[in-house]
Chain A
Amino acid sequence: MFFDYLNLSWHSIRNRSLRSWLTILGVVIGVTAIVTLISIGQGIQDSILREFEKVGYNTVTVLPGNFDTQRGGFGNSSADTSSYLDRSVMDEVDGVKVSAAIRSEDLQVVSENLEGQAFLRVSGMSPSVLSDFDDYFDGFPISDGERFSYDGDAREAVLGPEIAGELGVKAGGTIEIEGQEFTVSGILGAEDGGESGQFSFYGDLDNGLFVPLSAVEALYGDEGKASLVLAEVYEDVEVAEVADEIEKAYSQVDTASTTITTEEISNRVNSALGTIQMALAGIAGISLLVGGIGVMNTMYTAVLERTREIGVMKAVGAKNGQILGLFLTESGLLGLVGGSIGTAVGVGLSLLASRFISQALEAPFVPSFGPWLLIGAIAFSFVLGSISGVLPARQASKLQPVEALRYE
């Protein structure tokens, strides 16, 4: 029966082809807007979440003092550098599998090819930073040279490509930090020669200057101070609980600390992006509403135009419910066709837009088309069309057969 309705509806839609297409266009615009906005928004959310997943949800970042987590990369943070954390406190916290320390200091840097001197943020990394947490630095990819050897007291440095350019050094060259000579063991960057990942947890890798932790400690002549501690917790424990334990452990040694878990950040990002997406979808929803009103208008006209036809159908035995079903199918079909075209156009449009977004973000970006989005958009359009047709269809079904047959 439903297919018979579909067939009859299809006939009458085709018969009023221009008007039908204009009505469908109204739905197409709304659905296109929704599919485009959601797939791009979801794509952005997915690519950010992928970064979180790389780092892993069982990593806890610990910062000294009270840190404002809204600022982005922790390495570039303006957190109070005069206070430090003692990494060894971590050894006493249950649930921590491995931990690593980073000590960042603003130090005087000189190189042969640089006139004068510069004060740069130098980050000392404990060996476990690279062995257990290199995802925190987007894999710490080296394009030229190699990572630190951590061989004895060797003074080695790994530079971001930008800062290496400014200092005019390559792998194998030397720079001076606080009067001490350091060998540049490697330059960061993707292996294929492209730029390093733009998004790392640490922040901007292009301008990073990394040395072994022991080298920084040697410059200061003290040990056990960290400006950032990373901890990986065991798989089977609650990350948030361990984070609390860590804060407690630090407060017992009279150090203020702030812990940040991956989950916490990803939740925050998700809810921020979610809100933006909802707002955009709401705006697109308004255009879909207008499309629905268009369907309603067309269906009212159709009922008027086809009053006689309705009379004939009733005369040959059509029940009210069947006339209702017929008109609902027709309006649903308008929605369905509009929704299908709109979904296809939306997919095309967001693929097109993703090129520009990739360029703007300087990072590869793919819009996300979950099956639920595509199927949902099409199903929703059908429902929208049907709902828009309810009032006209009711009017059609309630027509008196004799009156309808007399209608000119």
Chain B
Amino acid sequence: MVELQNVAKKYTMGETEVRALRGLDLNITKEEFVAIVGPSGSGKSTLMHIIGALDIPDEGRVLLDGTDISEYDENELANLRGNKVGFVFQTFNLIHTLSSLENVALPLTFHGISKSDREDRAAELLEMVGLGDRMDHKPAELSGGEQQRVSIARALVNDPDILLADEPTGNLDSDTGKDIMELIEGLNRDKGMTIVLVTHNPRDAEYADRIVNMIDGKISNGEHDNGGGS
């Protein structure tokens, strides 16, 4: 469902040029759970952004369901993000002025869905992630684990084809992190959600069907089948 062909991305900061991705090929099939691991600065987040239509590559092709999106304009990319992709970030990235319910409902706002429909859908997802009783709480009134659950609910609210989680447990203690990983794994197992997970934690990577190793903007030979599940 996602196919990257010879993708390259560089950043220029003044004089220096950073080659974040250097000709990378990757194939992710439907309902697959892929973990991406690798040292800091190896380009994992950059890769996630490109898979999630948040950024476009300088070179190469990105095929989403067979369509090349590397030439899409900003509005087309926004549409794609709004309809097909759900993002979960290490730092949760919730909007601190909005309640849990409003945070989860936010993506639907940009789809022009009515307030009552949005709130029904958001409430449903908050129930699903176990926060039925925290709907009116602001992010500051929630624990880290709870905030990450809200952000997972938000990522799922538009019923995406693929969930992209960039170090979702990075800011959580190991027990809470485990809960979050089990929630994510459950989405893949029970709902067949396609998942790409970036992690530094080998234990988290264990949940994935396949582990992709990144070094210096490329996928190293260490890519291997994980044999599925924990």
- Measured CB to CB, the residues of A under 8 A from B are 1, 3-4, 8, 11-12, 14-15, 308-309, 311-322, 400-402, 405
Contacts and interface: CB of A to CB of B under 8 A. Distances in A.
A317 B49 contact: no
B55 interface: yes
B136 interface: no
Interface of B: 49, 52, 54-55, 74-75, 78-79, 81-83, 87, 89, 93-98, 106-107, 109-112, 115, 154, 158
A12 B96 CA distance: 9
B200 to A, nearest CB: 18
A314 B81 contact: yes
A401 B82 CA distance: 13
B110 A315 contact: no
A314 B55 CA distance: 11
Contact of B81 (A317, A320, A405): A317
B107 A316 contact: yes
Contact of A316 (B55, B74, B82, B112): B82
Nearest to A320: B74
B97 A316 contact: no
A129 to B, nearest CB: 72
A318 B110 CA distance: 6
Contacts of B55: 400-402
A312 B78 contact: no
A321 B154 CA distance: 22
B83 A316 contact: no
Given A11-B97, A11-B98, A308-B93, A313 B106 contact: yes
Contact of B158 (A3, A8, A317, A401): A317
Nearest to B86: A316
Contacts of B79: 317, 319
Nearest to A4: B109
16 contacts: A4-B115, A8-B109, A15-B96, A312-B95, A316-B82, A317-B78, A317-B81, A317-B83, A317-B110, A318-B78, A318-B82, A319-B110, A322-B110, A400-B55, A402-B49, A405-B93
A1 B106 contact: no
Nearest to B84: A317
A82 B98 CA distance: 86
Contact of B97 (A15, A308, A312): A15
A317 B95 contact: no
